[in-house]
Amino acid sequence: MVPLSYYLLLSGILFMCGVLGFLIKRNIITIFMSIELMLNGVNLSFVAFAAHWHALSGQVFVFFVMVVAAAEAAVGLAIIIAVYRTRETLNVDQVNLLKL
């Protein structure tokens, strides 16, 4: 028997790791992977709650989240490739044209 709060705790830790990765890492792809990590953490909490409250819709929602994550990953990577073509770098600090 694992208390709910432990699952939630783990979910929270995973999420925090994702955010930290987003902040710390310089490689765009690694940043993207941190995003995926965040999404996974959230998924875990969804499933945990679904089990706790015996509501299957939680798992259904997880399904949707994954679909969205997939779509987002595809588009995001395409963007990265496009950016790489122009900037020749994967370093997020050098992709700062936004400032101009």
Closest CB 81 distance from other proteins, rounded Å: 5
- Residue 87 makes contact with other proteins by CB under 8 A: no
Nearest Cα neighbor of 28 from 85, 86, 100, 76 is 76
62 neighbors 48 (Cβ within 8 angstroms): no
Closest CB 39 distance from other proteins, rounded Å: 9
Number of residues in contact with other proteins under rule CB under 8 A: 77
**Hey, which residues between 19 and 48 contact other proteins (CB under 8 A)?**
19-27, 29-34, 36-37, 40, 43-44, 47-48
d(CA 27, CA 8): 29
